[in-house]
Chains A and B, each alone.
Chain A
Amino acid sequence: MADPVVELRGVVKEYGDVIRTRVLHGLDLRVEAGEFTALIGPSGSGKSTLLNLIGLLDRPTEGKLFIAGQEIGLLDDDGLTACRGRSIGFVFQFHHLLPEFSAIENVMIPMMALHGRQDPSMRECAGTLLGQVGLGRFLDQRATLLSGGQQQRVAIARALAMAPRLVLADEPTGNLDTASADEIFTLLRTFNEKAGVTFLIVTHDPRLAARCDRIVELVDGRIVADRPNQARRT
């Protein structure tokens, strides 16, 4: 069997130097290629912490983390950045676009960062992605002049720019209205089904969680439930 996209073995995360608070208590988790998983749990339960660890923005205090079979504890910071750039896409709650750049430039950022320069093929690729998220008419629009839903679409296109195996989304619809949230969710699902991208999505919205294949529930830094979602509504 192929390596899981994500594998955690006894992952512990503690914060603080003097007073150490343990936020994640030895998590074990496997995410297989092509899965569309919801990560739910009350506020403060450690969902973002977990996502940041998997997204290589942070390192576990203890335990091992594998991304596509590669043990990331063995990589230095630049190795992490490179691995993140190539295999992982991020969608954040606050979309986090760069206000100085246009929609298409925002999508090109990960490509340019990896190759260290601009080239025309990047523009083409970014344009195609923006077309796929329905923003073909807004390529050169300043990112900050787009609506919330549009900005989140740009963020999705950016997350997919490097054709990653894994996309991590932290409350991607957190501050969108219901209709926009539904659209965004549908878009993610499309990329999952058409391109086989693995998704791990943090959400507060039970309606959206119900549309995922698998639901992992975190409470106080422990996984209290991990079940396939038979009653999936799409």
Chain B
Amino acid sequence: MPFELFVALRFLREGKAQTALILGGTTIGVAVIIFLSALIGGLQATLIDQTLSAQAHVILKRPDRVARVVTPADGAAVVARLEKTPEREKSIEQWQALLGEIRATPGVVAATPTAAGSAFASRGELSRSVALRGLDRQSFDQVIKLVPRITVGAFRVDGTEAVIGTVLAHDLGVEVGDKLRITTPQGRGDVFTVSGIFDVGNKDVNQRWVLVSLRQAQTLLDLAGGITTIEVKVDEVFAAEGVAQELGALTGLTAESWMKLNQQLLTGLQAQSSSSVMIQVFVVIAVALGIASVLGVSVIQKSREIGILKATGTSTGTVLRIFLIEGAIVGVAGSLLGGLIGAGLSTFFAHAVKNPYGESLFPIDLTPRLFLTASAVALVTGLLSAWYPARHAARLDPAQVIRGG
């Protein structure tokens, strides 16, 4: 065993109370960092998950038509009038070819065509304004995971089957198997059978979405085989904005990422991350000051021993290393213990706090990287905070110390 390590270990073992103190401080520090990071990471993952439960990462649609200026014949007054674009003109043509190109773009996992437009859903006297979405069941599944969100019935949109949200079902008083009439502003209409009811945890979606087959929607919305949007899933959720820009340039369509559509959420998450980092920085500073002051006291208490070591052939560099190693050992041991405690605490929370679906509200995010980061921070903190006391020890003048008796 290297001499420095031998002495450092012995000093730590013999300085029981002090060692316990700094080890305890470091352990708590690391545990707090791990717990906080896991919690916030998990919380954010849940929020993003929830946001993306009924939303594609990137949505492509035809660019809005430029506002038409209609000049009245007499020319006395110029009245600008924005005309609502008819569904027909929102339609994306040649979409099969575009879909192929989009799917071949790096970063894209899946893409699905959607024919969407507004409609009315009615049953008896009751009627509601809804968002009719015609979808291709197979590719839709790859983009949005709706199956686990189906609470009653099944996710089936064959023929004249429709899937609706819980709020709409409640508003219209329909259940699985009941009939529903859908009419569109285009003057078309048909009767659908409710095959399934979903709950995506988003009131607006639960209230407005009516999912039918692509073909049915195309007919009802008078799209003549066209679609209105292409919805895309990317492999890295936070790369969505980049992929969106690329797809926009590639297809000439307007591409919007979920990040753009949820800027407020992202700003909130960012603020949360920053404050979590701030807390962690202060924890690290507190731990560093703790280690530095306790080691500092122990160096002063050990002045005599350090003098003896130096008088009996221990070099200045060796003395420096002895105390740096003490700091490093405390850092490493603290990160092991703190890692265990932090992981235990996080796991406990994850199991203890669940939402109504039985899913954990804190699906904690305990990655190996988190442990590595925390350990590295603890090690560096141990070394840095040992630096000042160690230098003080190394500079002690053995002649002075020994003279003191």
Residues of chain A at the chain B interface (Cβ within 8 Å): 48, 52, 55, 57-58, 77-78, 81-82, 84-86, 90, 92-94, 96-101, 109-110, 112-118, 158, 162
Give CA–CA (A56, B405) in the complex, Å: 18
A92 to chain B, nearest CB (A): 6
Give CA–CA (A65, B24) in the complex, Å: 50
A177 to chain B, nearest CB (A): 18
Which residues from B are CB-within-8-Å of A52?
A: 399, 402-403
Q: What are 10 A-B contacts with C-beta separation under 8 Å?
A: A57-B310, A57-B397, A58-B397, A77-B315, A78-B317, A82-B315, A97-B308, A110-B313, A113-B3, A116-B318
Which residues from B are CB-within-8-Å of A112?
A: 3, 6
Give residues of chain B (299-337) contacting chain A, Cβ–Cβ below 8 Å: 304-305, 307-318
Would you call A113 and B10 a contact (CB within 8 A)?
Answer: no
Give CA–CA (A99, B403) in the complex, Å: 18
Which residues from B are CB-within-8-Å of A85?
A: 312-313
We find that the number of chain B residues with CB closer than 8 angstroms to chain A is 29
Residues of chain B at the chain A interface (Cβ within 8 Å): 1-4, 6, 10-11, 13-14, 304-305, 307-318, 397-399, 402-403, 405
A181 to chain B, nearest CB (A): 18
Which residues from B are CB-within-8-Å of A48?
A: 403
B376 to chain A, nearest CB (A): 27
**Given A101-B10, A118-B3, A118-B6, are A92 and B314 neighbors across the interface (CB < 8 Å)?**
no
Give CA–CA (A77, B310) in the complex, Å: 11
Give CA–CA (A118, B10) in the complex, Å: 14
**Given A55-B311, A90-B311, A113-B309, are A100 and B10 neighbors across the interface (CB < 8 Å)?**
yes
Give CA–CA (A182, B118) in the complex, Å: 111
Which residues from A are CB-within-8-Å of B313?
A: 81-82, 84-86, 109-110, 113-114, 162
Closest 10 CB pairs of A and B: A85-B313, A57-B399, A113-B314, A100-B14, A113-B313, A112-B3, A58-B399, A52-B399, A110-B312, A81-B315
Among A81, A84, A101, A110: residue with most chain B CB under 10 A:
A81
Give CA–CA (A92, B311) in the complex, Å: 10
Which residues from B are CB-within-8-Å of A94?
A: 405
Would you call A98 and B305 a contact (CB within 8 A)?
Answer: yes
Would you call A158 and B312 a contact (CB within 8 A)?
Answer: yes
Which residues from A are CB-within-8-Å of B305?
A: 98-100
Would you call B2 and A117 a contact (CB within 8 A)?
Answer: yes
Would you call B3 and A96 a contact (CB within 8 A)?
Answer: no
Chain A residue at minimum C-beta to C-beta distance from B2: A117
Give CA–CA (A98, B317) in the complex, Å: 19
Chain B residue at minimum C-beta to C-beta distance from A97: B308
Which residues from A are CB-within-8-Å of B13?
A: 100
Give CA–CA (A74, B314) in the complex, Å: 20
Which residues from A are CB-within-8-Å of B316?
A: 77-78, 81
Would you call B314 and A98 a contact (CB within 8 A)?
Answer: no
Chain A residue at minimum C-beta to C-beta distance from B13: A100
Among A78, A99, A109, A118: residue with most chain B CB under 10 A:
A109
Give CA–CA (A48, B13) in the complex, Å: 34
Given contacts A77-B316, A100-B10, A115-B3, 16 further A-B pairs with CB under 8 A are: A57-B397, A57-B399, A58-B399, A77-B315, A78-B315, A78-B317, A81-B316, A96-B311, A96-B402, A99-B14, A100-B14, A112-B6, A113-B318, A114-B313, A117-B2, A118-B3
